[in-house]
Amino acid sequence: MAQKKSVAEKQTLVYKDTLALDFYEAVSQNPKQVPLVILVHGGGFSGGTRDGESEVRFCENLAEMGYSVASISYRLTRKGGSFGCDCPAEIKIETFVKASEDLADAVNFLISQEPLSFDRSKLILAGSSAGAETVLNTVFMKDHYAFNHIKAAEFAGVVSFSGSVVNTSYITSENVIPTLLVHGMKDRIVPFATDPHRFCTTVDPGYLILGGSESIANRLDTLNTSYILAYDPEGNHDWAGFAYEKTGLVHDFIEELILKQEFVQSKLQIQRNTESKESDR
């Protein structure tokens, strides 16, 4: 029997052009049998890194909990430009699509690398802010005209920190999977419910309606799909970063809703650095 490792081992691999990912092998006796969590960092599609302090700590914590983890880089297509209300809505859609293309390529690359140890039937996407929009769109916008050319793998679950989708109507019984959503209700960057991105007005070039965590949860509820919506009534977009601290919540989501396949539809009121309080289950 292999001796259990005490720390996560990391290796960096280039998966496309100059884009790289960091792979953290699970601290586990049977790493080939564990899920793989693929993390997509935030940063407004103009900044952020796969190996920032919060991202590294999140990945190491999950690896120590027994999961393999890959943190990916992707094209920062808005670097040096705006992603606000002066950025045309069609450019915003293109930005979402390119990030999803890179994510799909990274996952397909990971699957193809035989020496990497993880269960290829248990792929879980996770993302923060721009990364959360990327993972949610990749999973749920498969039939949307802008995304339907992307050949993504099948995923067992998705974790979103302050994320949204282009259109919740594209969430259907054919593409639903267990979902963990963490969001502040007073987020003025990525809407908590269904509202314009960055709350732009109808006269702004960047006016684009998005479906946030509450709207996604409500859609999953009607489709009888497991989800956890963890929300802070006073929270704002800072939860895109604060949620990295909630590895216990992520662990419970993976163990209960994905591995044990328990049916859960839960809304939890949360605060930073405190225990979650259940308000509706």
The 10 Å Cβ neighbour count of residue 203 is 7
Ordered domains of the chain (ranges, CATH): 9-280 (3.40.50.1820)
Q: Reply yes or no on whether the pLDDT at 275 is more than 60.
A: no
What integer best gives the mean pLDDT of the chain? Answer: 94
pLDDT in tens, 200-243: 999 999 999 999 999 999 999 999 999 999 999 999 999 999 99
Confidence of residue 6 (pLDDT cuts 50, 70, 90): low
Residue 2 pLDDT exceeds 50: no
CA 152, CA 230: separation in Å to the nearest integer? 27
Cβ–Cβ < 8 Å for 176, 223: yes
pLDDT the model gives residue 4 = 54
Whether 74 shows a pLDDT value over 90: the answer reads yes
pLDDT at 268 over 60: yes
SS3 185: coil
* pLDDT tens, position by position, 40-52: 999 999 999 999 9
Question: Nearest CA to 180 among 137, 123, 136?
Answer: 136
Q: Tell me 4's DSSP state.
A: P
Q: How many CB atoms lie within 10 A of CB 80?
A: 7
pLDDT on residue 278: 34
Strand, helix or coil at 227? Answer: strand
Say if residue 146's pLDDT is above 90: yes
Task: Quote the pLDDT of residue 33.
Answer: 92
* 25 beta partners: 9
Q: How far is CA 201 from CA 32, 62, 86, 95, 193, in A?
A: 49, 40, 11, 20, 16
More confident residue, 273 or 143: 143
Angle between helices 89-112 and 130-140 (to 10 degrees): 80
227: its two tokens: 């989800």
pLDDT over 70 (residue 279) = no
Distance in angstroms (rounded) separating the CA atoms of residues 21 and 189:
27
Q: Taking a C-beta distance cutoff of 8 angstroms, is the pair 227, 266 a contact?
A: yes
pLDDT digits (tens, 9 = 90+) for 114-137: 999 999 999 999 999 999 999 999
Measured CA to CA, the distance from residue 33 to residue 237 in angstroms comes to 35
